[in-house]
Amino acid sequence: MKPINWLRRGVKEFLARGGLRLALPFCPDHAHIVTFHGLIDGPPRYATENTGGKHISVEDFRRIVDWLRRHFPLVHLHDVIDSLAGGKPLPRNSVAITFDDGYESNYLLAYPLLRKHAIPATVFLTTRFLEERVPLWTCRVEYAVGRSQRTEARVEIEGTVVSGTLNSDGERVELLRRLKNALKATDQSRLAEYCGSIEDQLGVRLDLAGDDEPARQPLSWEQVSEMADSGLISFGGHSHRHVILGRCQEESMREEVRLCNDVLRTRLGDAQRTFAYPNGKPGDYSQTSHEAVAAAGFSCALITVEGPCTVGRTSPFGAPRVSVSGDTEPWSLVGRLVRPGSNAATARTED
CA distances (Å), origin 324, targets 211, 267, 327:
26, 29, 8
Which stretches does DSSP call E strand in the chain?
32-36, 38-40, 55-57, 95-101, 121-125, 152-157, 160-165, 233-237, 301-302, 317-319, 322-323
Beta bridge partner(s), residue 163: 154
Phi, psi torsion values for 55, nearest 5 degrees: -100, 120
d(CA 274, CA 54): 21
List the CATH code of the domain at 25-132+218-346. 3.20.20.370
How crowded is residue 132: how many other Cβ atoms within 10 Å of its Cβ? Answer: 10
Q: What is the DSSP string of 304-337?
A: -S---B-TTT--SEEE--EE--TT--HHHHHHHH
3-state secondary structure of 190: helix
How crowded is residue 13: how many other Cβ atoms within 10 Å of its Cβ? Answer: 11
d(CA 229, CA 301): 24
3-state secondary structure of 291: helix
3-state secondary structure of 120: coil
User: Which candidate, 322, 320, 321, 314, places its Cα nearest to that of 84?
Assistant: 314
pLDDT given at position 314: 95
- Strand pairing category for 152-157 and 160-165: antiparallel
Q: What is the DSSP string of 34-70?
A: EEE-EEESS--SSTTTTTT--EEEHHHHHHHHHHHHH
pLDDT given at position 211: 86
pLDDT given at position 333: 83
How crowded is residue 99: how many other Cβ atoms within 10 Å of its Cβ? Answer: 28
pLDDT given at position 240: 98
For residues 47-81, one letter each, b for 16 or more C-beta atoms within 10 angstroms of the residue's C-beta and e for the rest, the string is bbbbbbbbbbebebbbbbbebbbebbebbbbbbbb
pLDDT given at position 347: 44
- 268 by Cβ neighbours in 10 Å (0-12 / 13-18 / 19+) ranks as middle
DSSP H/E element including 287: helix 287-295
74 and 92 in contact (C-beta within 8 Å)?
no
pLDDT digits (tens), the chain, 351 positions: 455 555 555 555 555 555 555 555 545 578 999 999 999 998 888 889 998 899 999 999 999 999 999 989 999 999 999 999 988 999 999 999 999 999 999 999 999 999 999 999 999 999 999 999 999 999 999 999 999 999 999 999 999 999 999 999 999 999 999 999 999 999 999 999 999 999 999 999 999 988 888 889 999 999 999 999 999 999 999 999 999 999 999 999 999 999 999 999 999 998 778 999 999 999 999 999 999 999 999 999 999 999 999 998 999 999 999 999 887 887 778 778 876 544 443 344 556
CA distances (Å), origin 79, targets 76, 242, 268:
5, 26, 19
178 and 146 in contact (C-beta within 8 Å)?
no
Q: Which amino acid is at 48?
A: T
Rg (CA), the chain: 20
Beta bridge partner(s), residue 123: 99, 235
pTM of the predicted structure, to 2 decimals? 0.90
